[in-house]
Amino acid sequence: MRASGLVGEHALKLLGDESGAVIQDRHGPLYWLVEPGSADGWDVRQVHVLGGAAARASYVGVPPAHWTGPPGIHWRIPVGPGRYLTDPALLRQSLALAARAELGPAGEAGPVTSRICVRCDRPTSTPVVVGQAHSASAGGRDIYSCPTCVRTFPQPVDPITQIDALRRTRQEGA
Protein backbone atom coordinates (compact mmCIF):
# COMPACT_ATOMS: atom_id res chain seq x y z
CA MET A 1 0.00 0.00 0.00
CA ARG A 2 1.64 3.25 -1.14
CA ALA A 3 0.35 6.68 -0.15
CA SER A 4 1.66 10.06 -1.24
CA GLY A 5 3.65 11.93 1.38
CA LEU A 6 0.88 14.48 1.84
CA VAL A 7 -1.94 11.97 2.41
CA GLY A 8 0.32 9.45 4.13
CA GLU A 9 1.58 11.89 6.77
CA HIS A 10 -1.97 12.88 7.67
CA ALA A 11 -3.11 9.24 7.81
CA LEU A 12 -0.15 8.36 10.02
CA LYS A 13 -1.27 11.00 12.54
CA LEU A 14 -4.82 9.65 12.44
CA LEU A 15 -3.64 6.07 12.99
CA GLY A 16 -1.32 6.93 15.85
CA ASP A 17 -0.30 3.80 17.78
CA GLU A 18 -2.69 1.67 15.69
CA SER A 19 -0.35 1.77 12.70
CA GLY A 20 1.73 -1.23 11.83
CA ALA A 21 5.21 -0.88 10.36
CA VAL A 22 5.65 1.90 7.79
CA ILE A 23 8.42 2.37 5.22
CA GLN A 24 9.20 5.85 3.90
CA ASP A 25 11.21 6.34 0.74
CA ARG A 26 13.51 9.28 0.09
CA HIS A 27 10.92 11.16 -1.97
CA GLY A 28 8.24 11.11 0.75
CA PRO A 29 5.71 8.37 -0.07
CA LEU A 30 4.77 6.02 2.77
CA TYR A 31 4.25 2.26 2.48
CA TRP A 32 2.05 0.27 4.86
CA LEU A 33 2.15 -3.51 5.06
CA VAL A 34 -1.27 -5.17 4.94
CA GLU A 35 -2.52 -8.73 4.51
CA PRO A 36 -2.29 -9.73 0.81
CA GLY A 37 -5.59 -9.12 -0.97
CA SER A 38 -7.09 -7.08 1.87
CA ALA A 39 -6.88 -3.81 -0.09
CA ASP A 40 -8.11 -5.03 -3.48
CA GLY A 41 -10.63 -2.61 -4.94
CA TRP A 42 -9.66 0.40 -2.82
CA ASP A 43 -10.15 3.72 -4.55
CA VAL A 44 -8.56 6.43 -2.42
CA ARG A 45 -6.91 9.44 -4.05
CA GLN A 46 -3.09 9.39 -4.01
CA VAL A 47 -3.11 5.83 -2.63
CA HIS A 48 -1.93 2.90 -4.74
CA VAL A 49 -2.54 -0.74 -3.92
CA LEU A 50 0.56 -2.70 -4.83
CA GLY A 51 0.40 -6.32 -5.86
CA GLY A 52 -3.39 -6.38 -6.11
CA ALA A 53 -5.33 -8.81 -8.27
CA ALA A 54 -4.81 -6.67 -11.39
CA ALA A 55 -1.06 -6.27 -10.90
CA ARG A 56 1.53 -8.58 -12.37
CA ALA A 57 4.19 -7.87 -9.79
CA SER A 58 5.13 -5.11 -7.40
CA TYR A 59 8.43 -4.49 -5.73
CA VAL A 60 9.01 -2.39 -2.64
CA GLY A 61 12.46 -1.67 -1.30
CA VAL A 62 12.59 -2.86 2.30
CA PRO A 63 15.30 -1.26 4.43
CA PRO A 64 17.29 -3.16 7.04
CA ALA A 65 15.62 -3.09 10.47
CA HIS A 66 18.19 -0.62 11.84
CA TRP A 67 17.51 2.05 9.18
CA THR A 68 15.05 4.12 11.20
CA GLY A 69 15.69 7.61 9.88
CA PRO A 70 16.58 9.58 6.78
CA PRO A 71 18.37 10.05 4.49
CA GLY A 72 17.07 7.48 2.05
CA ILE A 73 14.57 4.72 2.47
CA HIS A 74 13.92 3.94 6.13
CA TRP A 75 11.43 2.55 8.62
CA ARG A 76 9.21 5.47 9.62
CA ILE A 77 7.47 3.12 12.07
CA PRO A 78 9.95 0.30 12.72
CA VAL A 79 8.89 -3.28 12.28
CA GLY A 80 8.91 -5.25 15.50
CA PRO A 81 6.98 -7.62 17.76
CA GLY A 82 3.30 -6.75 17.47
CA ARG A 83 4.05 -4.07 14.89
CA TYR A 84 4.04 -5.54 11.43
CA LEU A 85 0.77 -5.44 9.49
CA THR A 86 -1.76 -2.61 9.77
CA ASP A 87 -5.47 -3.35 10.14
CA PRO A 88 -6.77 -2.79 6.57
CA ALA A 89 -10.18 -1.38 7.57
CA LEU A 90 -8.61 1.14 9.91
CA LEU A 91 -5.95 2.05 7.34
CA ARG A 92 -8.51 2.58 4.57
CA GLN A 93 -10.63 4.79 6.81
CA SER A 94 -7.59 6.84 7.86
CA LEU A 95 -6.34 7.23 4.29
CA ALA A 96 -9.79 8.27 3.03
CA LEU A 97 -10.13 10.87 5.81
CA ALA A 98 -6.60 12.11 5.14
CA ALA A 99 -7.22 12.41 1.38
CA ARG A 100 -10.41 14.39 1.99
CA ALA A 101 -8.68 16.68 4.50
CA GLU A 102 -5.61 17.30 2.33
CA LEU A 103 -7.17 17.29 -1.16
CA GLY A 104 -10.77 18.37 -0.55
CA PRO A 105 -13.93 16.37 -1.24
CA ALA A 106 -13.75 13.87 -4.10
CA GLY A 107 -14.93 15.37 -7.35
CA GLU A 108 -14.23 18.91 -6.21
CA ALA A 109 -12.45 20.68 -9.03
CA GLY A 110 -9.16 22.28 -8.13
CA PRO A 111 -7.33 24.84 -10.22
CA VAL A 112 -7.08 23.85 -13.86
CA THR A 113 -3.29 23.79 -13.59
CA SER A 114 -3.17 21.70 -10.40
CA ARG A 115 -0.96 18.64 -10.83
CA ILE A 116 0.81 16.14 -8.57
CA CYS A 117 4.60 16.39 -8.34
CA VAL A 118 6.25 13.14 -9.45
CA ARG A 119 8.99 13.56 -6.78
CA CYS A 120 7.17 14.59 -3.59
CA ASP A 121 3.59 13.52 -4.48
CA ARG A 122 2.21 16.89 -3.39
CA PRO A 123 -0.31 18.89 -5.39
CA THR A 124 1.09 22.03 -7.01
CA SER A 125 -0.72 24.89 -8.69
CA THR A 126 2.48 25.83 -10.54
CA PRO A 127 3.50 22.56 -12.23
CA VAL A 128 6.60 22.29 -14.40
CA VAL A 129 6.77 19.65 -17.15
CA VAL A 130 9.93 17.59 -16.56
CA GLY A 131 9.37 14.76 -19.01
CA GLN A 132 6.95 12.55 -20.85
CA ALA A 133 5.89 8.97 -20.24
CA HIS A 134 5.11 6.80 -23.25
CA SER A 135 3.56 3.37 -23.55
CA ALA A 136 3.08 1.02 -26.46
CA SER A 137 -0.71 0.97 -26.11
CA ALA A 138 -1.47 4.60 -25.31
CA GLY A 139 -0.33 8.10 -26.10
CA GLY A 140 2.24 9.91 -24.01
CA ARG A 141 1.49 11.98 -20.95
CA ASP A 142 3.39 14.79 -19.33
CA ILE A 143 5.26 14.26 -16.06
CA TYR A 144 5.10 17.19 -13.66
CA SER A 145 7.24 18.53 -10.84
CA CYS A 146 6.63 21.25 -8.28
CA PRO A 147 8.97 24.28 -8.37
CA THR A 148 10.86 23.00 -5.30
CA CYS A 149 11.62 19.55 -6.76
CA VAL A 150 12.32 20.71 -10.32
CA ARG A 151 15.96 21.41 -9.34
CA THR A 152 16.50 17.65 -8.90
CA PHE A 153 15.76 16.89 -12.56
CA PRO A 154 18.42 17.11 -15.30
CA GLN A 155 18.02 19.94 -17.77
CA PRO A 156 15.99 18.85 -20.81
CA VAL A 157 17.96 18.26 -23.98
CA ASP A 158 16.53 19.38 -27.30
CA PRO A 159 16.45 16.35 -29.65
CA ILE A 160 17.09 18.54 -32.72
CA THR A 161 20.25 19.94 -31.09
CA GLN A 162 21.35 16.37 -30.31
CA ILE A 163 20.82 15.26 -33.92
CA ASP A 164 22.74 18.28 -35.26
CA ALA A 165 25.63 17.60 -32.87
CA LEU A 166 25.72 13.93 -33.93
CA ARG A 167 25.80 14.92 -37.63
CA ARG A 168 28.65 17.39 -37.03
CA THR A 169 30.60 14.76 -35.10
CA ARG A 170 30.19 12.24 -37.93
CA GLN A 171 31.17 14.80 -40.58
CA GLU A 172 34.28 15.83 -38.63
CA GLY A 173 35.27 12.20 -38.12
CA ALA A 174 34.86 11.27 -41.81
Confidence category of residue 9, pLDDT binned at 50, 70, 90: very high
Q: Which of 7, 117, 30, 25 has the alpha carbon at shortest distance from 71?
A: 25
* Cα–Cα distance, 170 to 150 (Å, whole number): 34
Whole-model pTM?
A: 0.63
Asked if 7 contacts 15 with a C-beta cutoff of 8 angstroms, the reply is no
* For the ranges 20-24, 39-43, 107-111, 166-170, the one whose mean pLDDT is highest: 20-24
Segment 120-128 mean pLDDT: 78
In 3-state terms, what secondary structure has residue 129?
strand
| Backbone φ, ψ for residue 47 (5° rounding) | -130, 130
Tens of pLDDT, residue by residue over 39-75, are: 888 888 888 888 765 555 677 889 999 999 988 899 9
- Would you place residue 156 in the very low, low, confident or very high pLDDT band (cuts 50, 70, 90)? low
Predicted confidence at residue 116, as pLDDT, reads 79
Q: Using an 8 Å Cβ cutoff, are 63 and 74 in contact? A: yes
Q: Is the pLDDT of residue 139 over 80?
A: no
Residues comprising the chain, all counted: 174
What is the three-class DSSP state of 105? coil
Question: How far is residue 2's CA from residue 147's CA, in Å, rounded to a whole number?
Answer: 23
Side chain identity at 10, as an amino acid letter?
H
In whole angstroms, give the CA distance from residue 53 to residue 66.
Answer: 32
Q: Is the pLDDT of residue 109 over 50?
A: no
Report pLDDT for 82: 85
pLDDT of residue 111: 42
Instruction: For 86-102, give the DSSP string.
Output: PPHHHHHHHHHHHHHHH
Measured in Å, how far apart are the chain's first and last C-alpha atoms? 56
Residue 122 has pLDDT above 90, yes or no: no
Segment 135-149 shows an average pLDDT of 70
